[in-house]
Each structure stands twice: as structure tokens, then as C-alpha cells.
Amino acid sequence: MMNKPAIVTIAYNRPEALKRLLTSIEAAVYPEGVHPDLVISIDKSDSDEVKNAARKFEYSHGNKVIIEREERMGLRAHVLACGDLVNEYGSIIVLEDDLYVSPAFYSYAVAALDFTSGDERIGAVSLYNHLFNVHARVGFTAIEDGFDNWYLQMASSWGQAYTKEQWKGFRNWYEMNKERDLTDPFVPANVSGWSDKSWLKYYIVYLIESGKYCIYPRISLTTNFGEAGTHAKSANTEAQVPIQNPMIRSDYVFSTLDESHAVYDSFFEPLGVIIDEKVSIGVYGSGTDNKAENDVIVDLYGVKPVQEMIAGYVSKKEGDNYRFVISEKRLPYKVLKGYGRQMRPIDANIVYEVDGNDYFLYDTKIVAPLPDKNHKALKFLYEYRGLSVARMIEIVKYRIMEKLGRI
């Protein structure tokens, strides 16, 4: 049976942003005979501008429902309350007010929800496509594998959809874990360190600990304006991504988690079949099938606490044998193979076995001298195309002025 999710928008004190989002929702194309409710949930503030914007907005595709919260909830409680609306509607799409949606957003959400509904390993559907690794602060692209989707062990907050079952799994986990410290080597440090106002960090840890993933689109159905608000001091364009064009598709080719070669953990590190195969060959040599100790820590971005992971710090990881590490870090272990940083995305250098000394496959059972370092500038030049001295000077000048409050 086809999912017919309600559209739930989350608003607080940005009336112009809400108007822009609602306008894009109205302009979207909806399946014939489907008339989704539009729920506008407004957290209590000192201004009536957002309420007035919601009341004046004309929605022609279904019922418009406005929820005006009587007390200030804060983002975490507000998002959780909006997520709980899935119990009334069966499935929902959740959109915060600084987003903008593609005309195809609803059709894609329906297709992705229908495809993943029976797979308990999928924790949610993302409508946003990451092109930026938020932990390493560099560009990111999921490696191409011929499908319209990829998988990431990161929850989405920039346009997401849930079935009742997907949200229930998180909610049950949350009630048992909402008071605990989320610090853990297998959780990105900047995630566990987010403010207690964040709901997203709990969903991310839920995915990690339950072994679930979000399905992500190759081309985004939402983009984020990154405007100033309660949790952002100033606007930026880091989260802006291309969105799907107005052509409405019904022929998405989705991969299952087992089929996909583009599966990434919460650090945006590749876990897919191709990486496993290439690292296995690097460890054991072709023709060898001994994988008893082939639990490999992949750390291409260099932000994982590799030493703690090797030590088996986390109780759920005890018994796992992380003998091998592939990382950009210089570590005191024997190098089994070196890879260059030339192809894009970065995991393509491993997949296609580009020789070099930018990434190393280590055997942590054998102590050895640190491999030679590359100049950091080479990494920056790889990440930022067309970076010149003149442009760097302008960026530095801008940042200084920004810090001094003169912009």
C-alpha cells in the first residue's frame, strides 16, 4: 500500500523563511488523488508574525492544520512532538522552516518510504543529500554505484520522512537513553558534544547503536538556507545543495542496503562492499579468504579516535578485533599499502587502488616507524579547487572583519 505522508513544518520566529518554505510546498507536484495534510507547528514566541504568515498562507492540495504551541518548547521537544504526529498520520515528512523543497519532494518521499518500509535496518528517509562532511569540514560525495540512493548512519534534520514503525523504534530507544551521556569513540565527538537542545544527536546515536541507516537521495529534494536563528548566530551557505529539477519521476532505481556500494558510517566513512573487497586484498593478498581478523577501521577523513577504537573501549564493540586501519593519519604501525589522494570522491582512491602516500593501510599488530608526512597544503588544494593566494587573502580579510563584528 502506498504511503501518503502528511507534511509537517516546524516554525518558531522566522516568518520570511516560513513563507518561502510554504511557497515551495504549494508549488510541488503531488500524485493524482493524494491530498496530504499540511501541518504548520509553531513554537510559542513573543511575536505574532509567524502565526499570521501561517494563517494567511493558502494551501490548495489538502487540509491546512495550524498548531500553535501554548508554551515555549524549544527545538528538541518541538521536533519530538512533531515526530509523534506520525501516530496520527501513519507516515510524515518533517521540514524545518529554513528549508526549500524541490517540486518532486513529495513523490520522492513516497517512493523512498514505500521502498524501505519493510526493512528494519532503515531508520528514516532523508530528502537532503549531503555534499559536506560536517565532522571534517570538507566536501563530501557518495561514490557512484548506479542507483538513485545511498546510505548513511546519520539522521537527517534538513528534510526527512518516517513511517510510524521507523519513528517508534527511535522513540522507544530515546525514552530509555535521553538522560545518558552519549560520549563514545564510535560517536563523532562533535555530535556527542552538541547542546542538550539537540534532538538530532539522539537519533544519530540510536542509528549507530541499533545498526540502522538512513536512505539518502543522490540529488537532493531539499536545500537549507542556513539562516540565523536560535541555534545559528549568522547565515551561511554551507548547507546549500542542488535540488532535483521539476521533472517528476516514478522510476527511481533504489538499492537495498545489501546491494549498495555506497554505505557510510556516522563519520561519513565508507563501509560498502567494494571497500571491503579492496582492503581484504590489501591485507591478505589476492586468493586469500581469511577474514577472521578483517575488521577494518576506515578513517580517510582522519577524525576518528582510532587508538580508542582499537582498544575496544565500547562495551558493544568488545570482542571485535580491529587489527587493521586505513587512515590519512600517520600511525606507528606497519604499512601494508599506500594510496594517493587524486580521484574524487576520496574513497575512489581506495576502490581504484591509486598508489601514493596520502592514505595507509596499517597492521596494528606490528609496530613500525611513522610514515613520512605530506604537506597539508596538498590536502587543501585537493579539497578547494581554484584556491589562489589572492582568494585566500580575501577570505582571511573577511573572516577577520567578521570576528571583529564589522560585517
User: What is the rounded distance in angstroms from the CA atom of residue 241 to the CA atom of residue 28?
Assistant: 18
The kind and range of the H/E element at 19 are: helix 15-26
Report if pTM > 0.85: yes
Q: Is the dihedral of CA 243, 246, 247, 253 positive or negative?
A: positive
Which residues does 77 contact at the CB level (< 8 Å), separation at least 6? none
pLDDT tier, 241 (very low <50, low <70, confident <90, very high otherwise): very high
Average pLDDT, the chain: 90
Cα separation, 402 vs 396, in Å, equals: 10
Grid cell 525514552 in the structure block, residue: 175
Q: Residue 230: is its pLDDT beyond 90?
A: no
| 345 upstream amide cis, omega within 30 of 0 | yes
Question: Which of 171 and 233 is assigned the larger pLDDT?
Answer: 171
Asked which of 56-65, 225-234, 380-389 is least confident by mean pLDDT, the reply is 225-234
> Which residues lie below 8 Å from residue 327, measured CB to CB, with a gap of 6+?
297, 298, 299, 300, 302, 304, 306, 359, 360, 362
Cα(6)–Cα(11) distance, integer angstroms: 16
**In b/e form, how buried is each residue of 162-180, taking b as 16+ CB within 10 angstroms?**
bbbebbebbeebbeeeeee
Shortest CA distance to 354 belongs to which of 377, 382, 388?
A: 382
Radius of gyration of the chain (CA): 23
Residue 229 is predicted with a pLDDT of 52
Q: CA–CA separation, 150 vs 166, rounded Å?
A: 18
Question: What pLDDT is attached to residue 321?
Answer: 63
In 3D space, the residue among 171, 210, 19, 161 whose CA is nearest the CA of residue 99 turns out to be 19
Closest CA to 101 of 5, 204, 2, 219: 219
188-220 pLDDT per residue, tens = 999 999 998 999 999 999 999 999 999 999 999
Q: Is the CB of residue 149 less than 8 Å from the CB of residue 112? A: yes
Q: Is 326 helix (H, G, I), strand (E, B) or coil?
A: strand
d(CA 61, CA 141): 35
According to the model, what pLDDT value does residue 85 have?
98
In which band, very low, low, confident or very high, does the pLDDT at 283 lie, cut at 50, 70 and 90? Answer: low
Q: Is residue 261 within 8 Å of residue 143, measured between CB atoms? A: yes
Say if residues 141 and 152 touch (Cβ distance below 8 Å): no
Range list of β-strands (E), 198-252: 213-217, 222-224
Say which residue, 406 or 297, is predicted with more confidence: 297
Contact 355, 341 (CB under 8 A): no
Q: Give every strand in the sheet of 359-367, ordered side by side.
A: 296-299, 324-327, 359-367, 333-339
The structural domains of the chain, ordered by start, are 6-224 (3.90.550.10), 270-374 (no CATH), 377-407 (no CATH)
Pairing of β 132-133 and β 149-152: unpaired
Asked if 115 and 9 touch (Cβ cutoff 8 Å), the reply is no
Share of residues in the chain with pLDDT > 70 (%): 90
C-alpha cell at 138: 570538507
The CA distance from 27 to 16, in Å, is 17
pLDDT in tens, 285-318: 543 444 434 578 899 999 999 988 887 644 444 4
- pLDDT for the residue 126: 98
Q: What are phi and psi of 209, to 5 degrees?
A: -75, -25
Contact 125, 111 (CB under 8 A): no
